[in-house]
């Protein structure tokens, strides 16, 4: 037996639901649209609300992209994975590019730090299986082949520990 579909929310109720979501964390417009669509009485109401939220700057794809990047960089994710994830969340390429340029991240140093956290200060890269594991791990994390090559060349170098 299926549950009856709940009544659609009025515009003020929909606004309250959107503000509730935004009070917890920033959302991209696409995320908000996806979460609120099942609750909206009409697509027009939802678009009107989203336009209003953006106009008031309560919702901003630029701010969302910056916050998302900051949190994911702290987790050791690389630029390729971050760009892909932001596109999946509906952020346009212009906003992604601006947010990436606003970051003062040394991607090579981040890749090295991320590898050290996972594999230790000086893993034995003469072992091809270990080297392949490191390469796959950094690729999955979203680092470029140049960044990975830098890590492979420098992971055992104690002079670079202070990056």
**Phi first, then psi: what are they for 107, rounded to 5°?**
-65, -30
Whole-number average pLDDT of the chain? 92
* 128 & 97 share domain: no
Asked if the model's pLDDT at residue 101 lies above 80, the reply is yes
Helix, coil or strand: residue 9: strand
Task: Give the CATH number, domain containing residue 98.
Answer: 1.10.10
Of residues 156, 135, 131, the one with CA closest to residue 147? 135
CB 130 within 8 A of CB 124: yes
CB 95 within 8 A of CB 61: yes
Residue 158, pLDDT score: 55
* 123 & 148 share domain: yes
Is residue 129 packed enough to be buried (19+ CB in 10 Å), middle (13-18) or exposed (0-12)? Answer: exposed
- pLDDT tens, residue by residue, 48-94: 999 999 999 999 999 999 999 999 999 999 999 999 999 999 999 99
Query: What average pLDDT does the segment 88-112 reach?
Result: 95
Question: The tokens 């596109």 sit on which residue?
Answer: 87
Residue 149 neighbours by CB under 8 Å, 6+ apart: none
* 68 & 39 share domain: no
- pLDDT tens, residue by residue, 9-57: 889 999 999 999 999 999 999 999 999 999 998 999 999 999 999 999 9
The answer to whether residue 113 is domain-embedded is yes
* 48 & 68 share domain: no
The answer to whether residue 144 is domain-embedded is yes
The answer to whether residue 138 is domain-embedded is yes
* 111 & 156 share domain: yes
Structure tokens at 151: 């890590």
pLDDT-based confidence at 7, cuts 50/70/90?
confident
Q: How many domains does the chain have?
A: 3
* 123 & 151 share domain: yes
**Which residue range forms the structural domain that includes residue 146?**
107-160
CB 156 within 8 A of CB 122: yes
pLDDT-based confidence at 1, cuts 50/70/90?
low
The answer to whether residue 5 is domain-embedded is no
């Amino acid at each position: 037996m299926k549950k009856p579909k709940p009544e659609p929310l009025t515009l003020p109720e929909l606004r309250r639901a959107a503000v509730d979501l935004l009070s917890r964390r920033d959302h991209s417009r696409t995320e908000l649209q996806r979460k609120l669509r099942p609750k909206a009485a009409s697509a027009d109401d939802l678009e009107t609300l989203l336009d209003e939220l953006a106009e008031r700057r309560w919702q901003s794809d630029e701010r969302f992209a910056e916050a998302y990047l900051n949190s994911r960089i702290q987790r050791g994710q690389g630029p390729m994975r971050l760009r892909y994830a932001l596109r999946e969340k509906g952020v346009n390429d212009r906003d992604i590019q601006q947010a990436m340029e606003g970051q003062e991240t040394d991607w090579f140093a981040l890749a090295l730090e991320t590898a050290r956290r996972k594999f230790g200060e000086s893993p034995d890269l003469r072992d091809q299986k270990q080297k392949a594991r490191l390469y796959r791990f950094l690729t999955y994390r979203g680092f470029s082949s140049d960044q990975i090559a830098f890590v492979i060349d420098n992971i055992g170098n104690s002079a670079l520990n202070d990056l």
